Amino acid sequence: MARFPDIRPGISLKPYTTLKAGGAAEWFVVARGLDELALAAEWSQGRGQNTTVLGSGSNILPSDEGVPGLTLLNRATRIDIRGNGEIIAETGCAFQELFLKAAQAGLHGLEFAVGIPGTLGGALVSNAGAYRSCVSEFLTRLEIVVEGRREWVPPSYLEFSYRDSLLRKPNPPQVVVLRVEMVLPRGEAKQIYDEAREYQRQRIGKQPPSPSAGSFFKNVTDTAFAQSLDGLPAPLRAAGVVPAGFLIEAAGLKGFSFGGAEMGRRHANFIVNLRNATAFDIYRLAQIVKHRVQDRFGVLLEEEVLYLGDWSRLAEP
């Protein structure tokens, strides 16, 4: 039987985020396995607490005011490769590790995961993907804790769409995803690794060395808008995809800074923490960028990064 994990108050979340910013969790638990994760989620939901799950902290920004309720650090990492391309993976596993295990088994489809610095759980929240692929394509069912109960549900339960899911909605339901079942097609080993190396090569050229959350804003999908933009590469115009970094750079905001936070100089869709930036600095910089891009192009960028905790006292710029 799993031991109930220790609950600690007032633990800073800054070390648990790739942006290295933010306040403290009201209550904090490290769940070192699947059953500990489920027990803590059931306990928290049963008491009506806000429940937040952290993996590698690569796509979140906790408020400087802190995060109320229970924050669960997910260390459930088991990956089981079964027959016929089936995989059972716990959501605390590294997304890149999941790709490597799948590739070693001759399974194709997760090559885009190379270089994504997050866990499977984080990938599910934002339906992570790249190069017109996404993780939800391969899911067959998910084990969750909801309303204090542990159960399996179909992928449709999480309402996946482009870089989005039910878990990103305003005031999302209290759902903790424990593990997933997925099926991947067989592939040829050389092609799998060649594709992965190419994705890695492209990411190395774009990602800054300073603390960041990866791509901060979602790309814009709008065929008419894409075709109206001078300088947008032809394949993107044809696909109707406008990279957020293209718009940010075209608005003259590459390298723009607020406080200790700066828009990436290597890739404009990264916010980097250069000088011990607060969560407020990063949030305020993001709002300035959104407003200026909207003024210039008439589109409102949407964050990939999730804001945790209370931001209500921050005024718009």
User: Which amino acids are annotated catalytic?
Assistant: 163, 215, 304
Neighbours of 229 (CB within 10 A): 15
DSSP state of 15: G
| E-strand stretches of 75-164 | 79-81, 86-90, 129-130, 133-134, 139-146, 149-153
Q: Residues 210, 112, 304, 121: is their CA dihedral positive or negative? A: negative
Q: Where are the alpha helices (DSSP H) in the chain?
A: 34-46, 95-104, 120-125, 189-206, 223-227, 234-239, 244-250, 279-297
Rounded Cα gap, residues 17 and 37, in angstroms: 19
Cβ partners under 8 Å of residue 63, min gap 6: 22, 23, 279, 307, 308, 309, 310, 311
> Would you say 201 and 226 are in contact if contact means Cβ atoms under 8 Å apart?
no
Place of tokens 């796509």: 59
Rounded Cα gap, residues 176 and 41, in angstroms: 7
